[in-house]
Amino acid sequence: MSSKPNGEPGEKKVGVYICHCGGNISDHVDVQQVAENVKGIEGVSTVHTNVFMCSDPGQELIQEDIRNGKVDRVVVASCAPSLHETTFRGAIRRADMNAYLYEHANIREQVSWVHDGDMATAKATVLVKAAIAKAKRLVPLDPIRVDAHKHAIVIGGGMSGLRAAQDLSQRGIHVVLIEKSPFLGGQVANLDTLFPTGENAADIVTEMASAVVNDPKISVYTCSQIIHAEGYVGNFKITLQRKRPDSPDDFEKLKRLASSGKDVGNYIPFAGFYSEKVPTATEETTIETGALIFASGFQSYIPRQKEYGYGENDQVITLPHLIRIMAQDKDEGDLLKINGKKIRRVALIHCVGSRQIPGIHAPDENGHYHEHCSRTCCTATLQAASEIRKRHPGTHIFEYFRDIRTYGRGQEAYYDEASKNNVIFLRFEPENSPIVEQTPNSSYPMKVSVKDTLTFGEEIEADVDLVVLSVGMLPNNISDLTEMMKLPVSADRFLQEVHPKLRPVELAKTGVLLAGTCQAPMDIGESCNAAQAAAAKACTLLSKGVVELDPFIAQVDPQRCVGHGECLTACLVEGAITMETVDIDGVVSQQARVSQAVCTGCGACVAVCPENAININGWTLEQYEEMVDAIVMA
């Protein structure tokens, strides 16, 4: 027999597969010795090593042993299970064995990355022995199947949201697009031309927004935000509130709309696409949906008062402000003009609000530092510099930078072009940032001083007419939603994906996906790529009308549960456990019930149950005890 129903040890045939991981493991762990150390363990039927166990040949080795009847349990010793657990479960499933009769030992992160020599080999052996002990207690499990609405909600009407909505619709998924402001297009509507293609931003926004608004499978709700969310993948219930906007910026845009004489179905420069009239009264709508895609976008950093003179000098502006001025004034005279003033010299300062260092830079009002690189600002600054030089050859430019990071395809050309256009570059260290001062007795209103590392620390002063701050990207404030839905947020306060390579657009909450700059700074191409990936993932989840979830959830033993309710108090996920009244042989009592689709399998309930009436499928107390015994006896 392969196993007993209760998972007690029987005549198990455990196959052990140990990975070299190229040299990541085998450079520190004697893999062959580990294999020798576990060969004689009762129940181990075969042991193999492989340079890359996750490769096709490695997976085929496991599948061949299963098909030949050599093994009915699998232990893989390699890198972190978060990287390749899905890979090996898939390989086992393709060999027609239950995918959950598999255990993983992490001998890379937990061993080779922190130990070496005999200690590493000994620890790897112990971890593999523990995995074998648990594997002998594994029982077949079935995925949890829940019905799923073929419907998705996209949160955010910028380029990522528009792209995701279109892709979902094209795959037969009905979509509700939610935008907080009255306009579609997001931050792209604040641009003039796009790099590196030179396309007109207004044309791109109009084309995409028109396609979404006119799509019968897509419903657009502007001036809307989520006020309540509940449910789980396939069966979310979202309540929206629509009301007149309360943002001063939105009111300014609406004023421009009124003065332009345009109405619904038009693009408003530096506002976006106006798709529907602003509601006159507050209204609420509840929508049932299968998946959520966050495309909540970003906001530009606003410099602190007096940061590089910002807020106290009219001659200090941000790059988005400069872009807007140049877009509205297409004059191509010898000198750039700002508010009617001729600009002979411009200072462009990079990394304002990005790559901040505690102890050197000041935190924001909430005590946060913006330590991330915003990635797109260098190229945007170089593009602006080149455009000024081409349109206004009499205006000279000084560019102050820490590092030039033109990382995208074709973007390095902007640096080359700026250099050919005689833009003067000065490099500074963060502890010696440029100093911006007023010069009231000079023909130039501002002076910028810096220790230039390109000239080995020489102090260089430049008199200028205009200082432009290249500000970084910050995530939009969606703290109400992250708290409401218990979503993970990274140290830089962007939404945190499960894994940057293996699950790059998924949040830890199943059925909630990421698109664009709510996740990290991206350019438009990257944002749209991420949106398409999120849409594809949502379609994969919802297209069958049924979602399969891993079965690693809490399970209550009704013979032991007496209704203490300690599990309900300890549960970290709302709705995962409820107390229900049951009648057993005429005796009425309370018992715990687990909502399979909501439970995350955290195990908090297991720890507090005085009757040991709850276990986690795939991680039972008995399995833990076997692992501990194996470690102690090693």
Burial of 568 per CB tally in 10 Å (0-12, 13-18, 19+): middle
Examine the fold and report which residue of 85, 110, 141 is the final residue of a domain before the chain moves on. Answer: 141
For 449-476, how does the pLDDT look when each residue is reduced to its tens digit (9 = 90+)?
A: 999 999 999 999 999 999 999 999 999 9
Nearest alpha-carbon partner for 433 in 327, 309, 320 = 309
Number of domains the chain is built from? 4
203 and 78 assigned to the same domain: no
CA distances from 52 to 119, 124, 533 (A): 23, 17, 28
Q: Which residues pair with 588 in a beta bridge?
A: 583
Q: Which residues contact 366 (CB under 8 A, 6 or more apart)?
A: none
Q: Which residue has the tokens 């490695």?
A: 58
Q: E strand or H helix at 212, and its extent?
A: helix 201-213
Nearest-angstrom CA–CA distance, 64 and 78: 19
Q: Is residue 621 one of the residues assigned to a domain?
A: no
- Domain match, 459 and 416 both: yes
Residue 629 lies in a domain: no
How far is the CA of 423 from the CAs of 117, 345, 418, 457, in angstroms?
Answer: 55, 11, 6, 20
Model pLDDT, residue 146: 93
Q: What single DSSP character describes residue 470?
A: E
Query: Does the residue 529 lie in any domain?
Result: yes
For the chain, helix, strand, coil in percent to 5 are 30, 25, 40
Which residues of the chain register pLDDT less than 70? 1-10
Q: What pLDDT, on a 0 to 100 scale, did the predictor assign at position 10?
A: 58
Same domain, 192 and 125: no
335 and 436 in a single domain? The answer is yes
- Give the global pTM: 0.89
DSSP, residue by residue, 555-593: EE-TTT-----HHHHH-SSTTSEEEEEEEETTEEEEEEE
Are 337 and 426 within one domain? yes
The CATH number given to whatever domain includes residue 52 is: 3.40.50
Considering the domain architecture, whether residues 451 and 583 belong to the same structural domain is answered as no
Does residue 389 form part of some domain? Answer: yes
pLDDT score, position 5: 39
Type of residue found at 103: E
Q: CA end-to-end span of the chain, whole Å?
A: 27
| 606 domain-assigned | yes
Give the H/E segment covering residue 531: helix 524-542
Q: Are residues 283 and 260 in the same domain?
A: yes
- Reported as a single tens digit per residue, the pLDDT across 89-120 is 999 999 999 999 999 999 999 999 999 999 99
* 3-state secondary structure at position 607: helix
Tell whether 161 and 127 lie within a shared domain.
no
CATH of residue 180: 3.50.50.60
Query: 126: number of CA atoms within 13 Å, CB side?
Result: 14
CATH code: domain of residue 597: 3.30.70.20
Q: Assess whether the previous peptide bond of 196 is cis (omega < 30° from 0).
A: yes
Give the domain extent around 400: 307-473
- CB neighbour list of residue 385: distance below 8 Å, 6 or more residues apart: 346, 348, 397, 399, 418, 421, 423
**Is 584 a domain residue?**
yes
Same domain (yes/no): 135, 261: no
Give the amino acid at 490: S
d(CA 316, CA 331): 21
The crossing angle, in degrees rounded to 10, of helices 117-135 and 31-39 is 40
For residue 444, which of 420, 456, 462, 423 has the smallest C-alpha distance?
462
Position 536 in a domain: yes
The domain boundary residue, chosen from 431, 456, 473: 473
The reply to whether 460 and 486 lie within a common domain is no
* Residues 21 and 134 both lie in one domain: yes
For 16, phi then psi, to 5°, come to -115, 130
Which DSSP string do the residues of 271-332 spell out, in sequence order?
TEEE-SPPPSS-EEEEEEESEEEE---EEEPPPPTTGGGTTT-TTEEEHHHHHHHHHH----
Instruction: Give a yes or no: residue 514 inside a domain.
Output: yes
